[in-house]
Structure 1
Amino acid sequence: MSLIRGLVSTIYHLPKIYKWFYRPYYLLSLLMTLAFPLVRRCPGLCEHLPSQREDNNSCAFDWREVEILMFLSAIVMMKNRRAITVEQHIGNLFLFSKVANVVLFFRVDLRLGLLYLALCVVFLITCKPPIHMGPEYITYFSDSTIDEELQRDGRETWIVEFYANWSPECQSFAPIFADLSLNYSCLGLKFGKVDIGQHGAVAERYNVNPSPLCKQLPSLLLLQGGRELMRRPLVDKKGRASGWSFTEENIIREFNLNELFQKYKKLNKGEKSEEPKPILQEDPEEEEQEEEEEEEPESKKDK
């Protein structure tokens, strides 16, 4: 079922995927993913490669290579069951295909394995996945601006994402968070992001551990007046995050975005026609108590 869902999603997003390969990261990843099949099938090269086939055809896959490729397909399908976006599906395919290529090249020739492994290291250092550059209504915080901005108006509700550019999960979640900001941003409901890779002090203040072992990235916090109301994923006493799927449906349901959006839309309409009401209103009982306290010393003076 997950394979069918992945194929349908890939076919649906084919125009978008086609544009990705104009970017160096995706084009080079595709070439490195297909490196071993290309070498094994390339005339002039494949004749010099060893093979365990009974017919000694070194330009075709032997039984062990087919077994490794089938195992790769099974791993990719298992990992893609939890994938949310097409970027995650493609990223899992690229990642595990490179691991399979390393094994296949080392099995054929030690020199080819070392060469391919060196290319993978260079690619990892020099090529980073492209950052989401689409439209969004998101405020980017720094260490010096986040507290002031969140506490400026106690009536405003903020949904803040704590992320790091090196995290593949954060990169895959970026377009989802951008779409949510476009659909739900209004006068009282705002969206923000802070890169804790650059602003580590913010992560400490808001108890977000940037370590990959804790799996707390990305973290979404619902804040009002600088006070945390809820967060996802939840974190246990040992600092480990519980599993949570960052789908658009889960975020809308858990953070009650539809209710918050309708609430603030109504308040915004009311503010246009009526005078703004004060945030804190004095209790009439407290006013009576204050008046009684003022009368008591006056009566003592008369005595």
Structure 2
Amino acid sequence: MGLITGVCTFLYHLPQIYKWLLKPYYITSVFMTVAFLLVRKAPGLCEHLATQREDGNSCDFDWRELEILMFLSAIVMMKNRRAITLEQHIGNLFLFSKVANVILFFRLDIRLGILYLALCLAFVMTCKPPVYMGPEYIKYFSDQTIDEELQRDSRITWIVEFYANWSSECQSFAPVFADLSLKYNCAGLRFGKVDVGRYGEVSQKYRVGTSPLAKQLPSLVLFQGGREIMRRPMVDNKGRAVSWTFNDENIIREFNLNELFQKSKKLKKGRGLKEEEQNGSQPEEGGDELQPETNNPEQSIESKKDR
């Protein structure tokens, strides 16, 4: 049953996979993933390779190579259990396949290992995963505009993603966040992004660690009236992110998006906060603020921001 489900999923995503394969990043990654297989099976070349097989057949995998490939398969399956998008599944396959190829080539011939490792380094330095370019309702902030936008109208709730272009997790999360913005964006609920890899002062002010060891990228923060209400992932007192899965189900549940959307969509775009104050009226239902999270002492520390 699982095999049938996997085949159906592959066929469903086949048009998208076909588009990916036309991009240089994925074309190169596919060739680097199967590099050892091609070398081991290439006629005219495999006959001159070393082997530990009892029959001396150097054009087939020996028992140690099969163990490495089986271990690779197990690692990829374990990592993909937490993968959210198809890009993450394929990215895990590419990454661990390259690691396995480095080991296999060095074991086969140190010269081939050095050559393949050099190609991997050149690939990492010159080829980057394609950036998501699909539809979205997201406003991109700079270090000069983020504070102004968040405080412009206290009735508007903002969900802001702090990201960095170099982070593979942020790139994988981009289509998920874009899809949520298409579903829930309205007059009183807005979505924004800021590149903390580019604007270091923003990461310091909003306490978003950009170190790969901190694992805080991406970070989602809910703002109301320019004030932080909650964030995911939460951060412990050592500055490390608490493990949290960035999928649409978790975000909708944790940020209560359905209820927020129902309240916020009633907000009229034509009315500002100053107009309401002049008329002596209260903000509409969409302006009701959530209370900041204070149950978790670690989260309360992270929820504070410079005023």
Q: Say yes or no: TM over 0.5.
A: yes
SS in 1 for 2:155: coil
Q: What does 1:1-303 correspond to in 2, within 5 Å?
A: 9-268=9-268, 277-278=276-277
Deviations 1:129-179 (A, max 9, x none): 000000111111111111111111111110000000111110000000001
- The runs of 5 or more residues in structure 2 that have no matched partner are 283-307
SS in 2 for 1:267: coil
Q: Distance in 1 between matches of 2:226 and 2:2?
A: 41
Q: Distance in 2 between matches of 1:66 and 1:99?
A: 15
- The runs of 5 or more residues in structure 1 that have no matched partner are 284-303
SS in 2 for 1:223: strand
How far apart are 1:3 and its partner, in Å? Answer: 8.2
Q: Distance in 2 between matches of 1:32 and 1:242?
A: 34
How far apart are 1:238 and its partner, in Å? Answer: 1.1
Letter in 2 for 1:278: E
Q: 1:112 to 1:251 in 2, by over 3 A?
A: same
Q: 1:219 to 1:279 in 2, by over 3 A?
A: farther
Matched pairs, number: 279
How far apart are 1:18 and its partner, in Å? Answer: 1.4
Deviations 1:26-67 (A, max 9, x none): 010000000000000000110110111111111111111111
Deviations 1:210-233 (A, max 9, x none): 111010000000001110000000
SS in 2 for 1:266: coil
Q: 1:5 to 1:151 in 2, by over 3 A?
A: farther
The answer to whether the 8 Å contact 2:188/2:266 transfers is no
How far apart are 1:278 and its partner, in Å? Answer: 3.4
TM-score (norm 2): 0.86
The answer to whether the 8 Å contact 2:165/2:171 transfers is yes
The RMSD of aligned alpha carbons is: 2.2
The answer to whether the 8 Å contact 1:9/1:86 transfers is no
TM-score (norm 1): 0.87
Q: Distance in 1 between matches of 2:89 and 2:38?
A: 22
Deviations 1:253-283 (A, max 9, x none): 1111111111122333997xxxx74399599
